[in-house]
Structure 1
Amino acid sequence: DIGGGTTDLAVFSGGAIRHTAVIPIAGDQVTNDIAVSLRTPTHHAEEIKMKFACALSQLANSDETIEVPSVGDRPPRRLARQTLAEVVEPRYEELFALVREELRRSGFEEVIAAGVVLTGGSAKMEGAVELAEEVFHMPVRLGVPQHITGLVDVVSNPIHSTGVGLLLYGRENYLRGRRDMPLSGNVRGTFDRMKAWFQGNF
């Protein structure tokens, strides 16, 4: 789950979480890299990241250019989108390498042959899945909420994967608890009285 400040890692095996970790590199560091490298204010760097960034430079069109606002009263500049990708790719590569090292340390790297699921707002950047496959050498997919109705267009986004997943998990446990709920004291008392009456009269 690649968020703004941290990347959260969870290893699932046999339907249960076996290992978790937090890595202090995520989307905010990418924004800072863009701001420093392209010499643009942070809020513009965040906007450029969201609209134009690509985590794998070979996927960026070398002919495509982007407008980069400058600091102060200087006029904006135009840069190749590939230049932006060359700033972003090393940070994502570093992040995925740290995740891979954490998996090796945990001892679970061999049991996740089913692959890796990326979620979080910073996971939906173009090229992130392809770069992750190169680093992990296993299938990688983008995780988006499923089995939901209503505001599907809003929540079908990796930003909301954790939140929607927790809600679905809580709902499932609540419904299971309702099905398995023992009879309440009043109902049980009534059944006991009826049972005693039948035993005494028949």
Structure 2
Amino acid sequence: MRVENLHCSKRINPLVNFLIVALILSPSLTIILIPISFLLIMVYNVIRFKLLEPSVTRDTHEKFLQFIGGEPYYMDLDTYGKKGGTYADAVAIDAHNLYVLHEDNAVEIPWSMVRSWTIQAPGADRVVGVGMTAAMTAASHNIEAAAKAHEASGLFVFVADVNHPKWQFRTADTTILRKWNEILTQRNEGLLAA
């Protein structure tokens, strides 16, 4: 197995994150400023993801194809926000190898080393709040629950490797997950061209 860090993720300036957290945690804030701060953080995170996603997708696609060394039979890529940055995970297959990119780490897995795989797409519980404070609390809970559900979602590939026996292609898109389950099943059955 060949593993390489492709450095595809994009992170924003940590000082900006620090300033926002400091604003929220400042004891001098009044009850009026807290909802405004919360709203600003939500808007900031949406803008951050929308600004970084296109460049992460483009860079990741190019670097992953270079890592593979050519055009694979199938390939999918999905982006997500985490730890103050935007990441992209990818999965691809060619005649002899399965390729997985997770949090900047790409791996080339010879098909003979693939033991099994599973797909998971757990949903997130949603909480609804009535009133401004309850709605903000509910929104915070829903964002956290959605992030945890997305982190547990994806295609999980189990391989014959002592140091890294499980690789993940993170996506919550059930269409992509069903597609890859079928691709890997056909490859295992010898129906996919080898």
Structure 2 length normalisation: TM-score?
A: 0.32
Structure 1 length normalisation: TM-score?
A: 0.31
More helix by share: 1
More strand by share: 2
